[in-house]
Amino acid sequence: MHYLYLAVIAAVVLGVIVGFAVPDFAAELKPLGSGFVSLIKMMISPIIFCTIVLGIGSVAKAAKVGKVGLLALCYFLLMSTFALAIGLVVGNILHPGEGMHLDPADAAAVQEQAAEGGEGTVDFLLGIIPESLVSAFTEGSVLQTLLVALLAGFALQKMGGAGEPILRGIEHIQRLVFRILAMIMWAAPVGAFGAIAAVVGETGWEALRSLAVIMIGFYLTCLVFVFAVLGAVLWFGARINVFKLLGYLGREFLLIVSTSSSESALPRLIAKMEHLGVSRPVVGITVPTGYSFNLDGTAIYLTMATLFIATAQGSPLGVGEQISLLVFMIIASKGAAGVSGAGIATLAGGLQSHRPELVDGVGFILGIDRFMSEARALTNFAGNAIATVVIGSLTKEFDREQAHRVFSGQDPFNEATLVDDHQPAAETERVKEPAPV
């Protein structure tokens, strides 16, 4: 597996070279990156289903699931608020887009994305309910899969001992799914090469130079949020050094950079968090829920991009208007896929609902959205990893001794199978009730 990630690095470098040398040809390579991300997304629903069902099925009391879920949602809301506040402060200090006086007529192509991103809160809530148990897996909706998995997990919990054979069967299915994922990962260099080559070929340096302020400001804001805010939360909440945790997840960060998708690393995050010592129930609830509700990077992006668009078109937003619009966007972004382009659709949908005259301005940052989406995905991923450890610690479902063994290299993660045979000491034993007569 070491050779695989060296190959990914080499593919990224080669993609940049090809993008500059033959941009027209490089732009045609975009399907390689899109195809690889699609392969990863294909595995998301079965992995989430198996993980959550096993997590809930292994909890002795249903109240524990509710406690973990409520704590996770409160944590996510608090961190999203911090992300919004930091983005607002930095955006109002930098004034991105000031003095540009751009013509919004050049960006009319974004209207279609705005229409797609403009669903209301009621439609969003009803969309969580799948048409059938099977359609939750075929439609690729994370929240629909989450709902079905929760129902199945609680049902197995109520079955007691009679549900044990089903849980063992799902464990075997989980191992099969992770083995398939390990096979797919060998296509990562090809996907990385195609994705990087295409974006460099399409944008070049012109877009980066003209929008340097917002892009650099966004990256710096994400760094401050991850290492200052989340780092402090991790230390005070779990007594874990943020650099050690993020170093442990180094390969996942490389995968996200190459694909611009935090979803591509979700299955590996689940496996690694269990190996680190967080109990399976906490991982099964926190990680998938965090991918829909804990979008810190997206919150910062929406904040700064909105201020940029409004200022560039000579219609700066007042503080009250900023807050109301961005709170709406955060709500609308819940459950959005963590792939490149989802942020653009959410941004366009929010502007369409509140300030339709600004929607066309989304096209101004379309050229560098691919680069900004990488920072979004990295920040979202770091936030969910830290949230999982903190919530595990707060619920006393985190084996700190196991974490120290992992960080010291005494218990390395099994890259060959992605399956952790080690069961965290904090994990609650399954209830083995006698089968009903």
Q: In angstroms, rounded to a whole number, what is the distance separating the alpha carbons of residues 253 and 245?
A: 12
Q: In angstroms, rounded to a whole number, what is the distance separating the alpha carbons of residues 19 and 259?
A: 16
Q: In angstroms, rounded to a whole number, what is the distance separating the alpha carbons of residues 384 and 378?
A: 10
Average of per-residue pLDDT across 364-385: 77
236 in Cβ contact with 228 (< 8 Å): no
In a domain, 417, yes or no: no
In a domain, 17, yes or no: yes
Is pLDDT of 366 > 70? no
User: 124-136, pLDDT tens digit by residue?
Assistant: 677 778 888 777 7
Average of per-residue pLDDT across 363-392: 80
- Under the banding of pLDDT at 50, 70 and 90, the label for residue 437 is very low
In a domain, 85, yes or no: yes
In a domain, 415, yes or no: no
User: 224-243, pLDDT tens digit by residue?
Assistant: 999 999 999 999 988 999 99
Q: In angstroms, rounded to a whole number, what is the distance separating the alpha carbons of residues 80 and 63?
A: 26
**294 secondary structure, DSSP code:** -
In a domain, 287, yes or no: yes
Report the 3 state secondary structure along 397-413: CECHHHHHHHHCCCCCC
Region of 311 (left: φ > 0; alpha: ψ -120 to 50; beta: rest) is: alpha
- Give the three-class secondary structure for 278: strand
CATH number for the domain spanning 63: value is 1.10.3860.10
- Counting beta carbons within 10 angstroms of the beta carbon of residue 92, is it exposed (0 to 12), middle (13 to 18) or buried (19 or more)? middle
384 in Cβ contact with 287 (< 8 Å): yes
* Higher per-residue confidence, 418 vs 293: 293
Unique residue bearing structure tokens 């909440």: 237
- Counting beta carbons within 10 angstroms of the beta carbon of residue 54, is it exposed (0 to 12), middle (13 to 18) or buried (19 or more)? buried
Number of domains in the chain: 1
Average of per-residue pLDDT across 259-271: 79
Which pLDDT score is estimated for 364? 62
In a domain, 413, yes or no: no
Query: What amino acid is encoded at 122 in this protein?
Result: V
In a domain, 423, yes or no: no
Torsion angle (degrees, nearest 10) of CA 248, 254, 260, 262 = -20
Q: In angstroms, rounded to a whole number, what is the distance separating the alpha carbons of residues 246 and 406?
A: 13
Is pLDDT of 141 > 80? no
Query: What amino acid is encoded at 277 in this protein?
Result: G
- pLDDT over 70 for what percent of the chain? 70
Helical H runs in 59-187? 62-94, 111-116, 121-126, 135-138, 142-159, 164-184
Which pLDDT score is estimated for 5? 61
Give ∠ CA 101-107-111 in degrees, rounded to 5: 130
Is pLDDT of 263 > 70? yes
Q: In angstroms, rounded to a whole number, what is the distance separating the alpha carbons of residues 373 and 425?
A: 37
419 in Cβ contact with 326 (< 8 Å): no
The mean pLDDT of the chain is 75
Which pLDDT score is estimated for 244? 92
Longest dimension (CA), the chain: 77
In a domain, 16, yes or no: yes
pTM above 0.85, yes or no: no
Q: What residues make up the domain containing 369?
A: 2-23+33-407
Q: In angstroms, rounded to a whole number, what is the distance separating the alpha carbons of residues 1 and 138?
A: 30
Which pLDDT score is estimated for 71? 87
- Under the banding of pLDDT at 50, 70 and 90, the label for residue 266 is confident
